[in-house]
Amino acid sequence: MGKLKQKGKAGAATNYITRNKALNKLQLTLADFRQVRLCILKGIYPREPKNKKKANKGSTAPATFYYTKDIQYLAHEPILKKFREHKTFLKKLTKALGKRQLSIAKNLEKNKPFYTLDYIIKERYPTFIDALRDLDDALCLIFLFSTFPSTEKITSEIVTNCQRLSLEFQHYVIRTRSLRKVFLSIKGIYYQAEIKGQQINWLVPYQFSHSVPDDVDFRVMTTFLEFYQTLVGFVNFKLFTDVNLTYPPKLDTLKYEGAAGLNSLVDKMQVEPINHEEEKAQKLESEKRLETLPEKLAKIKDKEITETEDQSYNSTIDTIDVNESIIDDFTEQTSNQNTLQEQEVSSQTQTYTYRDIQLMSDAISKFEKLFSKCIFYLSREVPKYSLEFVIRSFGGLVGWDDTVEIGSPFKEDDERITHHIIDRPITKELIPTRVYIQPQWVYDCINAKNLLNTKPYQPGKALPPHLSPFVEYEDGDYIPVNDAELERNEGNEENEENVEQKIKIDIKNENTSEGEKVFDEDEDTSDVNDINNETDEEELIHQKELEAEARGISFSEYQRMTQEKKKALVFVANGTEEMEAVISIDVLRRGEIEVCVAGVSLGDKQYATCNRGVKIVPDIQPSDFSKFDALSYDVIVIPGGMEGAKTLSSHSDIQRLLSLAHKSGKFVAAICADYNYQEDRVVVDNKVITSRGPGTSFFFALKIVEELMGKEMRDKISPALMLPP
């Protein structure tokens, strides 16, 4: 008879250990255990046993449990010894500083204990593929901290290191063309790259000004970040060396300080390609051998023919004997043949032919060169940090405005530019050799793996839905129709119908005699097609109205949003009053009026220096105002300022534009240039809006909003401004 099991000596009672017992075993206090980074670095976390009462040896008191093996594993961890040494170091340092023993404190600081995480990386990830599989969270956290400002909790060294690691990883993705999917969400931009057969997803936040919250425990996040920095550093080193690049890559300090981003990294090969004369000699020898190859093949074929004639007679005799044996064992043979056929069919369904593999590789190589024939120029309002990474990952060339970053390979007036990405109304003259698009076109092309039609993405148009490429739709699911994809499909269908129609006409012409005519069947149906197109447009409009209603937008608000927006033109010059210019621009944009800032007589500079030193970068600087289309704007605004007013008043072309706009029924608004003097803050007389100084700038701009957008819009934006009555 076996021994009886004692209570608490086996099972859950020995597999789990409470936190208090773990503290006693590790000789740590509760505060040290909570602050210690060992559990995070080693990947140890609390566990939930199936039966807490058995795990706690009959006690029902609440407790936190860990695996006993994990705690035993931590007890022999070398980093735990380093943590204890660091704790004693802090005690000695505070004691020396308290006694003002500065020399001892300096010696302690020089001999401060430190630790490395290299061996932990090797323990947690035995192979490089394992490290790639766990790279998603690491990249998300590193890209997040790269956008943070430096504070007391987040040092500048951490931020710069995260920026360097993120740039290196993006540089590898660009170099190897590994990017596969992109999605713009509310949280940020999702990316997916395929590296060594592993799909890696990460999230990059939008580059807005961050306010660091106080209720976030940054100690835990920085501990994870410390481990992830080491992990990504090892991964980047391995990836760079695999493609024969030196690591870390060289950094152009001038470009990096000028916020050049990805353009600041410089490639350098580890081993230069070797070209010897021996290779040429080997090629000549191989060519000579190829010339004599047909004669040798002919001799081999003659030998094979003679051998096959001799073997054919023997094979016929063998087949007769085999057939007789098959007749005796008919049932067993047929069953074996059926099983073999099933195995062959199953193996055939799982394998791919060489043709399939070749087609897949051709599709991937074509996808990786999606933008290879495109040259993009980025306006300063679009997200350059994302568009540059995405476009260069698919072989495109990118240029940008010098006010955003330095180091652009070409300027805006370059004739090679094929696509101009802009996210504001077009105020300049269009260049016919390029296409003007909104940024979403680039991301939708990547997800569609094809260059889409650019018409639905033109500036000022309502964009088609941006669908997530990470969602797998099943039968019966609702899939929003992409307008660009719809137009492309409609074009393909029309081409197919035209081909079919031509075939029908050719057949009829063959069947009819010479004097007979063949009439087109679609001549009578042209009116019906026009009616169908109108009904389709009505259905699309109705569908968009329903989608707006589902988002909580009222019908009147939707009508106002779909109407053509009002436009305002604001002139600035050197010496303009900054309050009057900036407040007017801000309030007008709050009132959903498209504002274009035009610089006048700025010379070679890209900005206007205002009355008190504030610099304003205008949207446009027309070189010839005589060709400027001022009638496309609903209001022309002229801020005050003594020097700026003199510059604008002495400009003959601007005076001509103002008179032309006023005669055409457009509004003209100015501060410190009263058209009809009254005691009111703002005066409107014959479509001329005037005001009396910087203090009335808010009321001046609100009056413009009221005249263009209505009193409802003014009442909507006024409470947020907190203006006095």
Are 374-470 and 561-721 equal in CATH topology? yes
Contact 46, 71 (CB under 8 A): no
Q: Which of 435, 439, 431, 441 is nearest to 420 (CA)?
A: 435
**What are the angstrom distances between the C-alpha of 429 and each of 425, 441, 621, 633?**
12, 22, 12, 15
Q: What are phi and psi of 37, to 5 degrees?
A: -95, 5
pLDDT at res. 660:
83
pLDDT at 253: 66
User: Span 310-326, mean pLDDT?
Assistant: 48
Domain boundaries of the chain, sorted by first residue: 12-110, 118-266, 374-470, 561-721
Cβ neighbours, 10 Å, residue 524: 9
Do the Cβ atoms of 23 and 30 come closer than 8 Å?
yes
Q: Please enumerate in sequence order all residues whose Cβ is within 8 A of that of 465, keeping only pairs 6 or more positions apart, or say none.
A: 480, 481, 482
Mention the CATH class of domain 561-721.
alpha beta
Per DSSP, the residues of 35-67 read: H-SHHHHHT---B--S-HHHHTTT--S---EEE
**Sign of the four-CA dihedral 652, 655, 656, 657:** positive
Contact indicator for 65, 49 with CB cutoff of 8 Å: yes
- Spatial neighbors of 667 by CB under 8 A, at least 6 apart, are 634, 635, 636, 687, 688, 689, 704, 707, 708
Tens of pLDDT along 491-550? 444 444 444 444 344 444 444 444 444 434 444 444 445 545 556 666 667 777 777 666
Q: How far is CA 90 from CA 28, 78, 111, 393, 716, in A?
A: 16, 19, 12, 48, 58
- Give the pLDDT score at 481: 61
CA 227 to chain centroid? 25
When mean pLDDT is compared over 437-451, 602-616, 680-694, the highest value belongs to 437-451
Distance CA 654, CA 660 (A): 10
Structure token digits, residue 133: 């599989």
Question: CATH code for 374-470?
Answer: 3.40.50.10190
Band of residue 183 on the pLDDT scale cut at 50, 70, 90: very high
Kindly indicate the confidence band of residue 483, based on its pLDDT and cuts at 50, 70 and 90. very low
CB 226 within 8 A of CB 167: no
CA-nearest of 616, 548, 543 to 584 is 616
Q: For residues 80 and 78, give the distance between their C-alpha atoms in angstroms, rounded to a whole number.
A: 5
Q: Is cis: bond before 248, omega within 30 of 0?
A: yes
Q: What number is the average pLDDT over the span 4-14?
A: 74
Using CB atoms within 10 A of its CB, is residue 515 exposed (0-12), middle (13-18) or buried (19+)?
Answer: exposed
Q: Give tens-digit pLDDT for 427-475.
A: 778 888 899 999 999 999 999 999 999 999 999 888 998 988 988 877 7
Q: Which two tokens stand for residue 468?
A: 């997530």
- Strand 397-400 and strand 375-378: the pairing is parallel
Cα torsion 75, 81, 83, 85: sign = positive
Neighbouring CB atoms inside 10 A of 237's CB total 13
Backbone angles phi, psi at 655, to 5 degrees: -60, -40
Length of the chain in terms of residues written: 725
Question: Could you tell me if 673 and 690 are in contact, meaning their C-beta atoms sit under 8 angstroms apart?
Answer: yes
Q: How far apart are CA 656 and CA 648, in angstroms?
A: 11
The answer on pLDDT for 313 being more than 50 is: no
Contact status, residue 195 vs residue 462, Cβ threshold 8 Å: no
For the entire predicted model, the pTM comes to 0.54
What is the signed CA dihedral for 446, 449, 452, 458, rounded to 10 degrees?
0
Picking from 217, 39, 655, 143, the residue whose alpha carbon sits closest to that of residue 386 is 143
pLDDT in the model for residue 522: 45
Q: Who's near 385: CB < 8 A, 6+ residues apart?
A: 207, 261
* Residue 186 in this model has a pLDDT that exceeds 60: yes
- 230-271 pLDDT, tens digit per residue, is 999 999 999 999 988 888 887 766 666 655 566 666 666 555
Two structure tokens written together for 497: 């119908």
Question: Looking at beta carbons, which pairs linking 214-220 to residues 24 or more positions away fall under 8 Å?
Answer: 218/153, 218/154, 219/35, 220/40
Q: What type of residue is 407?
A: G
Distance CA 191, CA 386 (A): 10
HSE-CB for 523 with a 13 A CA cutoff = 4
